[in-house]
Amino acid sequence: MAPKDEDELADMMTTAVQLPGPSAIRYPRGAVAGVTRKAEPQVLEVGKAEVLEDGSDVAILGLGNMTSLALELGSRLERDGYSAAVINPRFIKPIDRAMLEAYSAA
């Protein structure tokens, strides 16, 4: 798992302790995004990506701390007239195959 911010890190830690086997969370050093955290972390569906922006011309996957850059790129492409989907994969393994198939079919 690779969280996009500190709120998602709390969700992933909650998810990890619910899993029957081992798990790994990759969180980079440095400053955090500074987002507001939920009162209670949620258990995430393992292997399920988060679609942040929907689009039909291009799909940008931003894993972990690269999510903010993916959102910025998506905004730039939108200004240039492209419909950009921005996706936070969350999980490296298992990867969300349904999401990949849906956005690669266009």
Buried b (16+ CB within 10 A) or exposed e, 71-83: bebbeebeeeeee
Domain that holds residue 78: 6-104
Q: Specify the CATH number for the domain of residue 30.
A: 3.40.50.920
Number of domains in the chain: 1
Task: Report which of 106, 54, 69, 66 is spatially closest to residue 90, judged by C-alpha positions.
Answer: 66
The confidence score (pLDDT) of residue 19 equals 96
pLDDT digits (tens, 9 = 90+) for 29-76: 877 777 888 999 999 999 999 999 999 999 999 999 899 999 999 999
pTM for the whole thing? 0.89
Q: What rounded mean pLDDT belongs to the chain?
A: 93
Q: Give domain status of residue 1, yes or no.
A: no
**Per-residue pLDDT averaged across 11-28, rounded?**
94
